[in-house]
């Protein structure tokens, strides 16, 4: 089985861990891991690292993500989404219709930009090694410090009271269900996240993804065709191609540097072979004027 990144379209009701288990079993891969979890009720793009692809997961964590979401006005839940316990009664539909579209647009648009966001109590973030949702289920609300996030774009697709359909482009660490709940608070009627689908992340689109049900019927050759090679998967990272001499340095763990043509620039750099394969990922050390290996992929 090839190494690389496999984009999967996760269906509703399946955990990210379950998807990883299915992909590993069907593909007969030694290693599989996802690159950013999706809640079981959410659908959409889940990137799976295959074999050596698991080594590059961390380079996807800081990337922006795009979502389609449906917010339900009038109902608050303890989880801020459709899986939670209702905390207040639904206002009459007539009262929701009294909220003008102009007001909804104004409130939704107010979430664009840099801001602080407190992670929800029902989340997979850990406190003393234990996920917050486990504390919440035991009746303990652990409040984590607010984190810096950014909403690059938040656009209303349509308004169908009691629902608001939005598209959100955001930074890492953003909880869309928290945004849904906060919109409800600002409108004075309460709200929760009814549906959520991730459509883009780190240059990958949902259009590129394989439906999980289709994946389970694929043969090994078909799966290999769907795996994005390592070098291509990291196309957002600068690249430099080296010759055989430099390849051998990498293969035997020897230092490479400006003598191999590498640019003295900060950040991560893909080092490619003449064939376009990923040989290594390095990071420039400004203090020591040297390149440090982050990952090596040559056998």
Structure confidence by residue, pLDDT tens digits, 71-111: 999 999 989 999 998 987 767 777 888 899 999 999 999 99
CATH 2.30.130.10 spans which residues of the chain?
A: 239-296
CATH 3.30.2350.10 spans which residues of the chain?
A: 4-61+203-231, 65-201
In this predicted structure, the answer to whether residue 175 has a pLDDT above a threshold of 70 is: yes
Beta-carbon contacts of residue 130 (< 8 Å; ≥ 6 apart): none
Q: Annotated active-site positions, please?
A: 39
- Rounded CA gap, 220 and 227, in Å? 11
**Mean pLDDT, all residues of the chain:** 90
Which whole-number Å values give the CA distances from 30 to 4, 50, 280, 281, in the listed order?
Answer: 13, 8, 21, 22
The CATH class, in words, for 239-296 is mainly beta
Residue 95: predicted pLDDT: 84
Which whole-number Å values give the CA distances from 97 to 44, 157, 166, in the listed order?
Answer: 31, 18, 18
Q: Can you give the pTM of this predicted structure? A: 0.88
What does the DSSP 8-state code read for residue 260? G
Residue 63: predicted pLDDT: 86
Question: Which of 3.30.980.20, 3.40.50.720, 1.10.10.10, 3.30.2350.10 is the CATH number of 4-61+203-231?
Answer: 3.30.2350.10
| Tens-digit pLDDT profile for residues 237-271 | 999 999 999 999 999 989 998 888 898 888 899 99
In this predicted structure, the answer to whether residue 154 has a pLDDT above a threshold of 90 is: yes
In the structure, what pLDDT confidence band is assigned to residue 298 with cuts at 50, 70 and 90?
confident
Greater confidence (94 vs 188) lies with 188
Secondary structure E strands in 20-97: 32-34, 43-50, 65-73
Using DSSP's 3-state secondary structure scheme, residue 107 falls into: helix
| Tens-digit pLDDT profile for residues 118-127 | 877 666 666 5
In this predicted structure, the answer to whether residue 128 has a pLDDT above a threshold of 80 is: no
Residue 266: predicted pLDDT: 82
Share of the chain above pLDDT 90, in %: 72
Overall fold of domain 65-201: Pseudouridine synthase (3.30.2350)
Closest C-alpha among 237, 228, 233, 244 to residue 281: 237
Query: How confident is the model over 110-120, as a mean pLDDT?
Result: 91
| Tens-digit pLDDT profile for residues 190-238 | 999 999 999 999 889 999 899 999 999 999 999 999 999 999 999 999 9
Contacts 24+ apart (CB under 8 A), 102-105: 103/187, 104/156, 104/159, 104/164, 104/187, 105/156
Share of the chain above pLDDT 70, in %: 92
């Amino acid at each position: 089985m090839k190494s690389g990144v496999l984009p999967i379209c996760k269906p509703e009701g399946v955990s990210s861990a379950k998807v990883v288990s299915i992909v590993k079993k069907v593909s007969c891969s030694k290693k599989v891991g996802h690159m950013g979890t999706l809640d079981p009720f959410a659908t959409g793009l889940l990137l799976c690292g295959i074999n050596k692809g698991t080594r590059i997961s961390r380079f996807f964590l800081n990337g922006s993500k795009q979502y389609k979401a449906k917010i339900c006005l009038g109902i608050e839940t303890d989880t801020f989404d459709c899986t939670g316990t209702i905390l207040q009664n639904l206002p009459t539909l007539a009262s929701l219709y009294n909220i003008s579209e102009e007001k909804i647009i104004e409130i939704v648009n107010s979430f664009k930009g840099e801001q602080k966001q407190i992670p929800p109590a029902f989340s997979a973030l850990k406190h003393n090694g234990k996920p917050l949702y486990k504390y919440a289920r035991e009746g303990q609300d652990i409040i984590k410090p607010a984190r810096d996030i950014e909403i690059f774009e938040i656009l209303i697709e349509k308004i169908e009271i009691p629902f608001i359909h939005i598209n959100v482009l955001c930074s890492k660490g953003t909880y869309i269900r928290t945004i849904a709940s906060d919109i409800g608070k600002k409108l004075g009627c309460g709200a929760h996240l009814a549906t959520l689908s991730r459509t883009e992340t780190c240059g990958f689109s949902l259009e590129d993804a394989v439906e999980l049900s289709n994946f389970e019927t694929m043969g090994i050759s078909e799966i290999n065709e769907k795996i994005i090679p390592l070098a291509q998967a990291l196309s957002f990272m600068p690249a430099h191609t080296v010759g055989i001499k430099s390849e051998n340095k990498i293969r035997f763990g020897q230092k490479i540097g400006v003598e191999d043509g590498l640019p003295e620039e900060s950040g991560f750099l893909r080092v490619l072979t003449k064939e376009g394969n990923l040989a290594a990922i390095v990071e420039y050390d400004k203090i020591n004027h040297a390149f440090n290996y982050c990952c090596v992929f040559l056998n």
